Amino acid sequence: MPSAEIRIANQLSEIGKVADLLDEFGRRHELSERVRHDMGIAVDEIISNIIHHSYRDGAAHDISVSLKLVADELQAEIVDDGAEFDPLAYQAARAPGSLKERALGGLGLHLVTSLMDIVRYVRLSDGNRLTLVKSTAGDDASERRSEALISVTSENGVTIVTIGGRFDSSVARDIRDRLSKRVAAGATRMLLDLHRLEYISSAGFWSLLAVGREIEAAGGRLALCGIEGEAKRLFDISGLSELFAICETRTAGVEAVRGS
């Protein structure tokens, strides 16, 4: 039975080690891009949640992540010694509303339960064990993942930001800070070109909403374009598609932001 295991500290910077292990494990066993991405997002969400909410003593802790392939399934088991938290007990609302009104609480758990075929939780005597299961039946291997990339250009008074690769918790804060600085400097007409985006986690969605609120508060306009493939699937699952002005092409996006 193919398997792999890693133990990390309760620091966000450690999540990249798990992502690398999952990617290497998936490619070695010829798992598809979708299976690797979906499991990567789910593991990222759960570990981020553990780091942010499970530990209240400020001390160093270990989080164990084990992977295995069993009968057309990729399984990830995450064990931590934090406070009790059963993600299955929480239902993430997909409430409508404007960018200003929409809260992201629970979105990560909604993504986990939507992307995984099975989620199992057990409270241990000294911690938590969560098992994530993704079917690999009929799976076709694809290319390896790439790191997040961001570039900025300007066209007819519109700031165009291209974001590609993986928009997850490891880069979301940095990307949000970079965009926020541009908004504060006067770039309140902004188009986000996401045609190179591979996938986006709840941390990425949170960053987009935060920047959208800042632009809205400044009286500006934000639009998105180029959302397709896996990224579009995740936008649809999240229920956030209706909150943004989404255009099919870059030209249409520029016109929308300019108010043409």
DSSP-assigned letter for residue 133: E
190 and 220 Cβ atoms separated by less than 8 Å: yes
**Quick one: fold of 149-258?**
Transcription Regulator spoIIAA (3.30.750)
| C-alpha dihedral, 39 to 41 to 44 to 48, nearest 10° | -140
Q: How many CB atoms lie within 10 A of CB 166?
A: 25
pLDDT at 98: 54
Mean pLDDT rounded to a whole number for the chain: 87
Q: Which residues contact 236 (CB under 8 A, 6 or more apart)?
A: none
Contacts of 148 (CB under 8 A, 6+ apart): 163, 164, 165, 166, 167, 168, 170, 171, 175
Tell me the pLDDT tens digit for each residue of 95-116: 455 555 555 556 778 888 889 9
3-135 against 149-258: fold identical? no
Domains of the chain by residue range: 3-135, 149-258
The pLDDT of residue 147 = 60
Distance of CA 200 to the CA centre of its chain: 4
Compute the distance between CA of residue 41 and CA of residue 18 in angstroms, rounded to an integer. Answer: 11
Residue-wise pLDDT tens digits, 197-231: 988 888 889 899 999 999 999 999 999 999 998 88
Pick from 37-46, 105-114, 155-164: least confident: 105-114
Q: Indicate the range of 35-39, 98-102, 163-167 predicted with least confidence.
A: 98-102
- Under CATH, which number does the domain 3-135 receive? 3.30.565.10
pLDDT at position 62 is 95
Return the residue matching tokens 């996401």.
194
